[in-house]
Amino acid sequence: MDNIDSATTPLDDDALMAAIDIGSNSFHLAIARLDHDEVRKIVSMSEKVQLAAGLDANNYLSDAAITRGIDCLKRFAARLEAIPASRIRIVATNALRRAKNADVFIKQANTILPKPIEVIAGREEARLIYLGVSHTNASSDKRLVFDIGGGSTEFIIGQGFEPILTESLQMGCVAFTKQFFADGNITESAFKQAFAAARREVLVINGQYQKAGWSSVIGSSGTIKAVRNVLVDKGWADDQECVTYSGVKKLEKLLIKIGHTDNIELTGVKEHRKAVFPAGVAVLRAAMEVLGIEALSYSDGALREGVMYDMLGRFASEDVRDRSVEALMTRYSVDKKQAKQVVKTSLRLFEQVEETLKLSQEDEDLLRRAAFLYEIGLAISHSNYHRHGAYLLEHADIPGFSQVDQKRMAQLLLSHRRKLKTDILEQTQAIGGKSLVYLCLLLRLAVLAHHSRTRYKPPIMTLSITAEDVWQVCVNTDYEHHAFLLSDLSAEVEQFAKWGITLCVTHDGE
């Protein structure tokens, strides 16, 4: 019970799983069947939505872009009816990271999708891309992988299945098309400006990446696939059909000669990619020049494959989120003995009320991980450490967690001590509904039980829901050694009431 890892059941062979990638340029759906621990795709759908093209100067998504996206997701959702929601993940990337009204899109989408959308951070996107590429192209080499998306480009150095460096840079084929090729004209001047902008972005990571080094390079994404197809057709690729830097420069000159995106008629460049193709080529050439890449191979595996392999790991008790929690505990010198006691009490309380409060396995995992990390803010300062911890969890790059996951954990830390306020209740409900409110209160009770770090055996608390919003806590304790706990719990009565919960406290012998 006090282990970091969650209790999960591995998937059987032939189990179906699915991933949706809500990208800045295209939306992708992949449905796969598990075959001897390998993910075998059986359905693949892709639609050009160009969500990022719908962002205005103030980063608000247009109604038209939202409608395009929702219509696409309706078509995807119709293909998911045979797959349990527990085996589906839906991730969103740069466009929804940037959109100030992303919540409008997400609320509409979540009403038609079997699973809520997870908006993932740039480095988490990079980690999942590497996972997809490394499983699709098995190798023990130290590799550089990069993926040119619609709004961002991810760079990863990794070995085997483990990423070593991950970065997400703000450059992509849709964003750069809006900035440099908006009128469709392909000029030498537009290419120079796009190349210079991309070069500035890549220079930021060049020193660190060159120091780490790599022995081979792989590119993923539609841009690199299209470039490779053109170079192979023109005879500009190498003998292994790899994308070469010299071939990319020739392609740039050819595009300038073509003059306009409407006139692009090149083998391997699909109709929907023509408008964003020159911008993608400019980003690719800049990345290859700055990093000194003469040739790279293409991988068909990318984000959606990585999402499914990550999901597979969760079912096999190899959840990267638990490794991330362990790493954070070590990095911030968390008192592991104390954390394990709080986790144990948290889960005991959870088990007693989960059915009554209609809590889920995901709720239990969230509570467990937050309980391990509740003192993380002490590494910064004892004063207001709950606020420091909440800030760290909300804003850090934590592998495996979506932005919503991190906000929910942060909310648990923020509310585990001191006064409970009405505005914090509203904030908590907005982030995670009633279940998150209940988890906050469960964590408060568990932390109180171990607040003194006494050498005596910790008290056992029994929790029951005796009526709607009435919580009954009974403490099985040596009154002499744990009188402080009963006093603290009595003080909690007023705090719980602010969140609409009547707390009744008794102890054995009353």
Cα 184 to Cα 181: distance, rounded to the nearest angstrom: 5
Q: Is the Cβ–Cβ distance between 412 and 440 less than 8 Å?
A: yes
Cα 312 to Cα 224: distance, rounded to the nearest angstrom: 27
For position 456, what pLDDT does the model report?
64
299 CB-near residues (< 8 Å, 6+ apart): 132, 133, 136, 137, 145, 218, 219, 220
Asked if the model's pLDDT at residue 290 lies above 90, the reply is: yes
End-to-end CA distance of the chain: 30
For position 61, what pLDDT does the model report?
97
Query: Domain segments of the chain: what residues?
Result: 16-118+308-313, 138-298, 319-453
Q: Is the Cβ–Cβ distance between 169 and 203 less than 8 Å?
A: no
Q: Is the Cβ–Cβ distance between 312 and 37 less than 8 Å?
A: yes
Residues β-bridged to residue 472:
464, 504
Cα 219 to Cα 173: distance, rounded to the nearest angstrom: 15
Q: Is the Cβ–Cβ distance between 252 and 227 less than 8 Å?
A: no
pLDDT digits (tens, 9 = 90+) for 248-278: 999 999 999 999 999 999 998 999 899 999 9
Asked if the model's pLDDT at residue 479 lies above 60, the reply is: no
For position 445, what pLDDT does the model report?
94
Cα 486 to Cα 482: distance, rounded to the nearest angstrom: 7
Q: Which structure tokens are listed for 485? A: 């706990």
Cα 104 to Cα 144: distance, rounded to the nearest angstrom: 36
For position 423, what pLDDT does the model report?
86
Residues of the chain above pLDDT 70, percent: 94
pLDDT digits (tens, 9 = 90+) for 406-436: 999 999 999 999 899 888 899 999 999 999 9
Fold of 16-118+308-313: Nucleotidyltransferase; domain 5 (3.30.420)
Residue 8 pLDDT level (bands cut at 50, 70, 90) = low
Using alpha carbons, select from 293, 311, 276 the residue that is nearest to residue 402.
311
Q: Hey, how many other C-beta atoms are within 10 angstroms of the C-beta on 362?
A: 13
pLDDT digits (tens, 9 = 90+) for 28-87: 999 988 877 677 888 889 999 989 999 999 999 999 999 999 999 999 999 998 899 989
Q: Is the Cβ–Cβ distance between 390 and 414 less than 8 Å?
A: yes
Helix, strand and coil content of the chain, in percent to the nearest 5, comes to: 55, 20, 30
Cα 347 to Cα 443: distance, rounded to the nearest angstrom: 9
Asked if the model's pLDDT at residue 472 lies above 50, the reply is: yes
Q: Is the Cβ–Cβ distance between 52 and 60 less than 8 Å?
A: no
Asked if the model's pLDDT at residue 138 lies above 80, the reply is: no
For position 72, what pLDDT does the model report?
97
CA distances from 395 to 144, 409, 500 (A): 26, 11, 30
For position 141, what pLDDT does the model report?
87
Q: Is the Cβ–Cβ distance between 315 and 10 less than 8 Å?
A: yes
Using alpha carbons, select from 449, 435, 424, 293 the residue that is nearest to residue 371.
449
Classify residue 251 as left (phi > 0), alpha (psi -120 to 50) or beta.
Answer: alpha
CA distances from 398 to 41, 53, 155, 394 (A): 28, 29, 17, 9
Asked if the model's pLDDT at residue 112 lies above 80, the reply is: yes
What are the DSSP E strand ranges found in 120-203?
Answer: 142-148, 153-159, 162-169
Cα 332 to Cα 342: distance, rounded to the nearest angstrom: 17
- Which carries the bigger pLDDT value, residue 6 or residue 487? 487
Q: Hey, how many other C-beta atoms are within 10 angstroms of the C-beta on 101?
A: 15
Least confident of 1-5, 17-21, 189-193, 265-269: 1-5
Cα 82 to Cα 79: distance, rounded to the nearest angstrom: 8
Sheet with 117-119, strands from edge to edge, namely 38-48, 26-35, 16-22, 88-92, 117-119
Q: What is the DSSP letter of 358?
A: T
- Which carries the bigger pLDDT value, residue 303 or residue 451? 303
Residue 399 pLDDT level (bands cut at 50, 70, 90) = confident
Q: What is the DSSP letter of 44?
A: E
Looking at every residue in the chain, the average pLDDT score rounds to 90
Cα 126 to Cα 18: distance, rounded to the nearest angstrom: 19
Q: Tell me if 16-118+308-313 shares its fold with 138-298.
A: yes
Q: Which structure tokens are listed for 261? A: 């995106």
For position 1, what pLDDT does the model report?
42
Asked if the model's pLDDT at residue 139 lies above 50, the reply is: yes
Residue 475 pLDDT level (bands cut at 50, 70, 90) = confident
Q: Which structure tokens are listed for 449? A: 């039980």
pLDDT digits (tens, 9 = 90+) for 492-510: 999 999 999 999 988 875 4
CATH of domain 138-298: 3.30.420.150
Pick the CATH number of 319-453 from 3.40.50.261, 3.40.190.10, 3.30.470.10, 1.10.3210.10: 1.10.3210.10
Is this structure's pTM higher than 0.85? Answer: no
